[in-house]
Amino acid sequence: MRRIEVAAAPPADVAVLTRNLELWPVLREVVKDYSVLELETIKTPLNLRDAMRVLRHVVVDKASVGYASMAARLHRSGVKVLLAVDQTVEVVEELGRLLPDLRQVVTAHGSIRVDNLAHLRIRRRNHRVLCVWGRSDADLYKKSSNENKSVRCEIIGSLRNAGYLRIYPLSPTRVAQTPLLFVSQYSGPDEEDLSSKTKRSELLRLVKAHLRTYCIAHDLPLKIALRPAASAPLAPGQSANERRHYEQVFSGVRLSFTEPTDTYASYRASDDSDITVGVPTGALTESFARGNKVLMVRQDPRTGSHYGFPVDGDWVLTEPTYEQFAAQLDKLRSMNRQDAANAWSREREYMVANAESADPIRLLRTLLDRAIRGDT
């Protein structure tokens, strides 16, 4: 049942979705010192003072009661800008429709691939800006849309990566503590189904099989970065099932695991490892951009781009044989980390800007300042 309120909504300059704050605690640092309205998106409370405005949105704009209540709350609080993550695209689009004059600053949750745009596309709208990780993302948005209809993109880098570096600044002389890290993509029962023919399942089985063979052949320990609650809360028992899965998959290999309740455990483990291995997800892309050695195994571009990577180099292989995989790992292990980072600097910046500093937080605050002043 929807909560009923009668008190006046407090004035605010910036609105942030409560759901985003739960999964993106770095947003609290972004909005520090602003007057903030936290906007509930699940069973949004209904303020009786807004009854007529809510009714008008429902009848005239054909909005749901929930969205009508959110829009009315934003209006009553005098909010000048909505800050949101692109994962909540439906909320962003509907509030943009109901409040076309409300400025929006939307930040991308990850590096963009063509396949992602089908359900995460942020569309062009007056007073809206999308903050993306790198030039790669901006180019893809522009290419996938008519140039005049593409959302306005600002390249700032990864916000979560910036939050990590604010707490754990990079050491230019960091030395690897572990030889290999594998970044988990564990998805519960789907991961256990060995008969699955999906490209995702096939690719993950390939990477894990090659990595186990390599570790045994070279007598190397392996660290597993367990999935944190990054995009959604962890399901009950998920981490225990995840550990059990990898203990079976990597039988015969000496294993250790990160702590999944630690938001930045995967980041620290990757910075502490000689090479990070996995499919081309956000964690691998960010680690690559921070100047670490990575080996990403991507799917054949002819089958899609969900696990794709747009830039070729020593950091990526396409559905390799074991011999190709082992040869590339040998090559990477022989490379000095700093030398590799210097050689790959252009590609790293293309994928994720400002990846070795916390600058994205400052840049996002600058965009909020402009939006509050009405400059965007």
Tens of pLDDT, residues 271-301: 999 999 999 999 999 999 999 999 999 999 8
Per-residue pLDDT at 147: 54
Q: What separation in angstroms does the CA of 183 have from each of 48, 61, 157?
A: 49, 45, 21
Asked if 276 contacts 332 with a C-beta cutoff of 8 angstroms, the reply is: no
Pair (285, 184) in one structural domain? yes
Pair (31, 135) in one structural domain? yes
Number of domains in the chain: 2
Pair (270, 369) in one structural domain? no
Pair (187, 323) in one structural domain? yes
Digit-coded pLDDT (tens) for 232-250: 666 677 788 999 999 999 9
Euclidean distance between the first and final Cα of the chain, in Å? 38
Question: What's 334's domain CATH number?
Answer: 3.40.50.2000
Pair (331, 363) in one structural domain? no
Domain of residue 8 covers 4-164+358-373
Digit-coded pLDDT (tens) for 4-22: 776 677 899 999 999 999 8
Per-residue pLDDT at 376: 62
Pair (112, 229) in one structural domain? no
Pair (131, 187) in one structural domain? no
Among 42-46, 92-96, 123-127, the range with the most confident prediction by mean pLDDT is: 92-96
Q: What angle do CA 367, 369, 371 make, to 5 degrees?
A: 70
Pair (277, 302) in one structural domain? yes
Pair (285, 303) in one structural domain? yes
Is 185 strand, coil or helix? Answer: coil
Residue entry with tokens 């990526």: 316
Q: What's the pTM?
A: 0.92
Question: What's 65's domain CATH number?
Answer: 3.40.50
Per-residue pLDDT at 4: 77
Pair (150, 213) in one structural domain? no
Pair (113, 218) in one structural domain? no
Pair (124, 217) in one structural domain? no
